[in-house]
Amino acid sequence: MGVVNVTPDSFSDGGRFLDHDAALAHARALVAQGAHWIDVGGESTRPRADPVPEAEELRRVLPVVEALAGEGVAVSIDTRKAAVAEAAVAAGARMVNDVSAGLGAVAAATGAAFVAMHMLGDPTTMQQDPHYDDVVAEVRDYLVARADAARAAGVAEVWIDPGIGFGKALDHNLDLLANLDVLVATGYPVVVGTSRKAMLGQLAARATPGGGAAPVTDRLEGSLATAVWARLRGAAMVRVHDVGATVKALGAVEVAAPAA
Ligand code: HH2
């Protein structure tokens, strides 16, 4: 899944694709590089991001969704707003990717697939000292409840996502990545998004003698390593910014993997 943020303030590419033509050109390039899905978002969910009014979010995403869907691209809409999800599906999106995991009924009503992602709190507060007793069990139980509810409401295709970086300290993220098999064992297909996230900056600092945290422009190695890890641990999809490099990295390990 390739990310197209039609936003001025996304943490890694804010402002680059706010213009619709730029967003479309970028999305087409990601498809050419091998993306199976394009995830279009009009509101940043980075920590402390400003909320976006509904009309502005619609103005950002709808023309992009409509044009891509018209070209046969499988489009996912990354939103927390029911009205945006409904309008995007009417414009041709086939999946609702909801970081608040609350739009299962909207996905059901529109016939779209649904991604339920785990987030602790909301983007304005989520990174203020997040606490869990057992992060893996709590995230799993939350996601299964949301996914079961979406399925009961009538969604045919439900995905779950641990929400790396959404109300999680570094050790919570690492625990979730180390125990992806617990999420995979639920039977729901798992999607994982680590691409360019802050944890990769922290891990690069740990790995580099005397190194500081890697800035967002310098997290490709961590993004690729964790995408490969997630797929080898059973994730069915990875959500990434660098599609071409990810496709090559995944291709390399699939070739190198012993036959099952
Ligand atoms: N991460 C982001 C946004 N949406 N959706 C899912 N399912 N999983 C994720 O890990 C995920 C997500 C954050 O990344 P990005 O869209 O690049 O940044 P921003 O929220 O600042 O636009």
According to the model, what pLDDT value does residue 260 have?
46
From the candidates 81, 94, 146, 197, give the one annotated as an active-site residue: 197
Calculate how far, in angstroms, residue 114's C-alpha sits from the geometric centre of ligand 1: 15
User: Nearest C-alpha to atom 5 of ligand 1 is from which residue?
Assistant: 99
Closest C-alpha to ligand 1, atom 8:
193
| Coil vs helix vs strand at 47 | coil
Distance 259 CA to ligand 1 centre (A): 33
H helix intervals, the chain? 20-32, 54-70, 82-90, 104-110, 135-153, 170-178, 180-184, 198-207, 220-232, 243-256
Q: How many CB atoms within 10 Å of residue 25?
A: 12
CB 45 within 8 A of CB 101: no
**26, 97, 99, 180, best to mutate for ligand 1 pocket (most atoms within 8 Å of CB):** 99
Say whether 201 sits in a helix, a strand or coil.
helix
Q: Of the residues 95, 96, 117, which should be mutated to test ligand 1's pocket, given the most ligand atoms within 8 Å of the CB?
A: 117
Each residue's pLDDT tens digit in the chain (260 positions)?
999 999 999 988 899 999 999 999 999 999 999 999 999 999 999 888 888 999 999 999 999 999 999 999 999 999 999 999 999 999 999 999 999 999 999 999 999 999 999 999 887 777 788 999 999 999 999 999 999 999 999 999 999 999 999 999 999 999 999 999 999 999 999 999 999 999 999 999 999 888 888 899 999 999 999 999 999 999 999 999 999 999 999 999 985 555 54
**C-alpha 91 to ligand 1 mean position (Å):** 21
Q: Would you mind telling me the total number of residues written for the chain in this entry?
A: 260
Examine the residue annotation and report whether 239 is marked as an active-site residue of this protein: yes
* Atom of ligand 1 at shortest range from CA of 241: 17
pLDDT at 256: 55
Say how many Å lie between the CA of residue 77 and the centre of ligand 1: 11
Ligand 1 atom with least separation from CA of 7: 22
pTM over 0.85: yes
**Cβ-contact 107, 114 below 8 angstroms:** yes
